[in-house]
Structure 1
């Protein structure tokens, strides 16, 4: 491989130069080089996409459905998304003007930010959060501002923490409940306090609801369904988590037409459209995937109950996650940083977890463990974690 830096200057974007690689990927790479690893690091279902969903994609290929779709996605898929959002979460969207099918929820987050952020705008981000939020804000020209959450408050956002970080440059608020990595959820009463503040200060809200169906103890409340919030909310969701379709890369954004039109401009130039075959699979999932989804959610609830109880018995404090499929135990009692704990656990006990600091400063002192693994793997993992904690007491 030729080192181009030895022959001429390399011209890279300052924004890209400032962004650090994903902190999750380093641990995956290290774990992949070792044997007898139990990985609790991957943020995806351990279920295979149901056969009827795979078959719908295969059938679309057999029928020769290999052309572009409309930029915004298959009309029939947008209609199903609109119906689903209204029936499940009471959020009304016009499928023709207010729904865009994206290449995963990740693209949805990207085009949402790029459609509303101007250089120098501040975007409040509730942390700990998914690793891409702050980098995407920076790439859009904005300034990410962290709003911390705490284990003693079950990682729910406190409206006063938002208020204390408001400035004249604040443009938007990014939230995600159920949350990755903490598993935290927020009910209507607490969300309404946040909503009132965003209305008072005329903020745009980007609500990542990719884990909406993975709510175990209460029905998910969509930010866009709250009084006065539909007009100022861009809702991001998709099929990866609740329909076990991570590799298909199909997501969607729902928003008032003025925002949807802006996002569509970016989407049509950057992506043209989401994969046609994957869209047909997503359509089948929406129409006939409910039974498998409910079975999966019930299984995750069982695993959560076992895993959190076992972590506590192993000596790690851990709040009860209300959604998603992550536990976020505190490792402060060991005296280690989250990165040191994760590295030593991997080397000594061959259990891969993600250090909490990669999800923002508020994640330091914690590790993220995905319980989207088989019960046998979870049982062995907690046995190894218990030995590790005892060894380092």
Structure 2
């Protein structure tokens, strides 16, 4: 029998990374030695002390019962202490921290708490697709904020029409940025806070990459700016910082009322993160941070190899200060899709077309630094042989 999908499913664009997986599988089936620079999934292992804490915690029957949907108090306390150490931001762990089953889950659920059918959310473009999809699932409409090179890949808040801003309920931002690798500083966040206060908008900052930074650069938290906690929340994740993508553990912090709305959605649709994983998360946040520094050094080395190789063939990609993405301009007027296809067919290299993240991403491809330095060197050699 053929059962009809709901309209919200019919409206979904093809999930970008699912399509990349399909293309990669096709090439492998053809015997191609594929170098996958497409999807941002860390190839480095989770640090051993975190694994050891999970193993220990999983042996305790007390952790086998339902967890709290809002998170263990001990984990939320560890998050608050980490924010104080890292950003100088004070949080009440009881009301200003909530545990997530990965930050993607929280981002996807938040619009259900605040968006009614017909409401507007301000969404960057190019961007992580979950922002706009989550708004659509809640019955809202996304108003794109173009991220262009001339503006440092920051949204131009003044370009948003006043009538759109008055209807907007949510504003999504993401720095350090996926896919562009751009960063934001206090002056931008101050403008965001002022804009949100003027139009009564909730700011949702996806800060998953703040710990993946290079050359001594330390990205700031949106919540460091005065007034930020009055207007919004920040999503964070252990996925990239501690190579825990498969563990599914993250958190949201900030405005207590906004987090209460998210908590009400979560209490009806999930049963919280496994306590043993939260205990491992405490070990990550409060343990030896040398693993984070080693991770940063590894990706910085890979970044430098890739950037040098791209420059050698005339591709003037900017070295990112943070994230493990290189936002590479396409050569000779090629479209994103054309360049992606060329690299696939002639070099066996998987990249992500910038246009897949939104129309303003046209003219770029995203390359992820999630393979070894040796494989990146091999990718560079293959690109040298491609007719650009």
Q: Look up the match of 2:10.
A: 17
Q: Is 1:31 aligned to 2:30, yes or no?
A: no
CA RMSD in angstroms, aligned pairs only: 1.7
Instruction: Measure how far apart 1:164 and its partner are.
Output: 6.9
State yes or no: 1:286 paired with 2:285: yes
Give the deviation of 1:162 after TM superposition. Answer: 4.1
Q: What is the TM-score of this pair, normalised by structure 1? A: 0.92
Secondary structure at the aligned position of 2:191 is classed as helix
Moved more, 348-357 or 11-20: 11-20
Distance 2:195 2:319 in 1: 27
Moved more, 168-177 or 333-342: 333-342
2:74 equivalent among 51, 76, 81 = 76
Deviation at 1:266, TM superposition (A): 1.0
Distance 1:165 1:366, change over 3 A: farther
Distance 1:254 1:343, change over 3 A: same
For residue 346 of structure 1, the aligned residue among 344, 347, 350 is 344
Work out the CA distance in 1 between the residues paired with 2:45 and 2:162: 44
Q: Say whether the 8 Å CA contact 1:214–1:324 is kept in structure 2.
A: yes
Matching of residue 169 in structure 1 with residue 162 in structure 2:
no
Asked if 1:226 is matched to 2:225, the reply is yes
User: Once structures 1 and 2 are overlaid, which stretch shifts more, 45-54 or 277-286?
Assistant: 277-286
Map 1:60-75 → 2, pairs under 5 A? 60-64=57-61, 65-75=63-73
Partner SS, residue 71 of structure 2: coil
Q: After superposition, where does 1:1-393 map in structure 2 within 5 Å?
A: 4-5=1-2, 10-33=3-26, 34=28, 35-64=32-61, 65-162=63-160, 166-217=164-215, 218-331=217-330, 333-388=331-386, 391-392=387-388
Deviation at 1:379, TM superposition (A): 0.8
CA separation in 1, counterparts of 2:127 and 2:84?
27
Deviations 1:40-61 (A, max 9, x none): 1121222100111111111112
Structure 1 residue 243: Cα displacement = 0.8
Query: Could you tell me whether the CA contact under 8 Å between 1:243 and 1:289 is conserved in 2?
Result: no
**Would you say how many aligned residue pairs link Structure 1 and Structure 2?**
382
CA-CA distance at 1:165 after TM superposition: 8.1
* Structure 1 position 163, deviation (Å): 5.6
Per-residue CA deviations over 1:228-281 (Å, capped at 9, x if unaligned) read: 111111211110001110000111111322122221111122111112232122
Q: Deviations over 1:295-333 (max 9, x none)?
A: 1112222222332232122221212322110001110x3
Once residues 231 and 181 of structure 1 are traced to their aligned partners in structure 2, the CA distance between those partners, rounded to angstroms, is 28
Residue by residue over 1:351-374, the C-alpha shift from the partner in whole angstroms, topping out at 9 and shown as x without a partner, is: 111111111111111111001321
Conserved in 2, the CA contact under 8 Å of 1:199 and 1:229?
no
SS at match of 1:184: coil
Distance 2:126 2:374 in 1: 29
TM-score normalised by the chain length of structure 2: 0.94
In the alignment, the residues of structure 2 paired with residue 320 and residue 199 of structure 1 have an alpha-carbon distance, to the nearest angstrom, of 34
1:344 Cα deviation (Å)? 2.4
Query: What SS is found at the alignment partner of 2:328?
Result: coil
Q: Equivalent residue of 1:123, what SS? A: strand
Q: Distance in 2 between matches of 1:160 and 1:313?
A: 38
SS at match of 2:14: coil
Provide, for residues 174-221 of structure 1, a one-character-per-residue CA deviation record: whole Å limited to 9, x for no partner.
000001111110111232223222222222100000111112253222
Aligned to 2:276, what secondary structure does the other structure show? helix
2:135/2:142 contact within 8 Å kept: yes
Helix, strand or coil at the partner of 1:134: helix
